[in-house]
Amino acid sequence: MQEYDLSQWVLFFFLYSFLGWIWESCYVSVRKHRWVNRGFMHGPMLPLYGSGAMVVLIVTIPVRDNILLVFLMGMIGATILEYFTGITMERLFHVRYWDYRNLKFNVRGYICPLASLCWGGVFSILMVKVVHIPFEHMVLLIPVTIADILAFVLTIAAAVDFTQSFNEAMDMKRILVQLEASKEQIQKMQERLKDASEEMQDRLKDASEGVQERLKRASEGGVQERLEDSYLLYEERKEMKAAEKQTRKELYLAKIEEQRRERKEQLTQLSEKVEALLRTVRLENEAQESESKGNWRKELAQMRSNILRERQKLGSRTDRNYVNAMRQLRRNPTAVSDKFKNAMEELKKNAEVK
């Protein structure tokens, strides 16, 4: 091997990114029994493989004639790259795009001996002693001007692709954060309302029969009717959707819409319960005013505001955000999230990613 100019290094990077994409896509497709356009980006390239190849070429230049040192240096360089790339991507997106925690002697799931030996050591020997020789010859035959133009065009195309893919990954991160926060908030409000309802029922045992009857009608009658109407409307929509022939994307968005409807229904029920409790407090206040009842009103009013905010957040998650998240998951079916485990499983289920 010899020294290369910047354009040649760039061409090697894209060449090995493309070869890495071929390998990963074929390997994952065979395992998943369906075609998987593997990788973080849309185009046929995996920058981690291109970067790994650059690292291997650089660290093995001084020892390229010693196969043992090529193995060791390449393994060390590739392992360090994989470790810090994994950490950086998880901190940016809260998602692990690969996970070795099911393999022995792994380090935080980012690297493991088996991957280092294969992806680092063996890959380095094949790279330096076999694969790189014909590709080096091919690239060196390209005139300098043409190499500069090719490197420039490929860099621009990759930059556009990376920007779009980065935005998709950020969309998926935002959805994971919002889904997890929404589920936690709804669960907390349900638990608090349950406790509040039980406490209020205990306080109402001493109330007059007439007041109890009024409260019952206020808290149950209208709510029940609205819930029954919502259920009937939901069943009609469900039957209409089942009759339609849907594409994969339409089916995915239909699942997302169904989950939105379910969360809206949860929030509606919570809202109805809050209003019922507020009416209860107001009716009690007609007889007697106290500081504790004033605190009840403040807490319930705050809960009502929280419910309104959750409904607004549901509307802020657009179909485009969900489609971007689906694209990321389909290209990275092994992706996991420790921080947002439940939300990730929900997204994967909707996108039919296994």
User: For residues 193 and 335, what is the distance between their CA atoms, to the nearest angstrom?
Assistant: 36
Structural domain contains residue 161: no
Residues 255, 195 share a domain:
yes
Residues 115, 239 share a domain:
no
pLDDT at 206: 52
Residues 102, 19 share a domain:
yes
Residues 243, 133 share a domain:
no
Report which secondary-structure segment, H or E, holds 149. helix 144-204
pLDDT at 298: 66
pLDDT at 187: 73
Name residue, tokens 């990963």: 24
Burial class of residue 70, CB neighbours in 10 A (0-12, 13-18, 19+): buried
Alpha helices of 205-290 — where are they, by DSSP H?
A: 209-216, 222-243, 248-287
User: For residues 167 and 293, what is the distance between their CA atoms, to the nearest angstrom?
Assistant: 48
Residues 190, 296 share a domain:
yes
Per the structure block, which two tokens stand in for 295?
């605190």
Alpha helices of 42-143 — where are they, by DSSP H?
A: 47-60, 67-93, 113-115, 123-126, 132-141
Domain carrying residue 117:
6-142
- Residuewise pLDDT in 10s, the chain (354 residues): 457 899 999 999 999 999 989 988 888 788 878 777 788 888 889 998 899 899 888 888 888 888 899 999 989 988 999 999 999 988 888 888 888 988 889 999 999 998 888 878 888 898 888 889 899 999 999 999 999 999 999 999 999 999 988 888 888 888 887 777 777 777 776 676 666 666 656 555 554 445 455 545 545 444 444 444 554 555 555 555 554 445 666 666 666 666 667 766 766 766 666 666 666 656 555 445 544 555 656 666 666 666 666 666 655 556 677 777 777 777 877 788 888 888 788 777 776 665
Structural domain contains residue 108: yes
> Which residue, 113, 142, 171, sits at the end of a domain?
142
Residues 88, 24 share a domain:
yes
CB 16 within 8 A of CB 53: yes
Structural domain contains residue 154: no
Contact partners, residue 102, CB within 8 Å, separation at least 6: none
pLDDT at 8: 93
Structural domain tally of the chain? 2
Residues 301, 193 share a domain:
yes
pLDDT at 41: 86
Structural domain contains residue 162: no
CB 81 within 8 A of CB 111: no
pLDDT at 148: 94
pLDDT at 211: 47
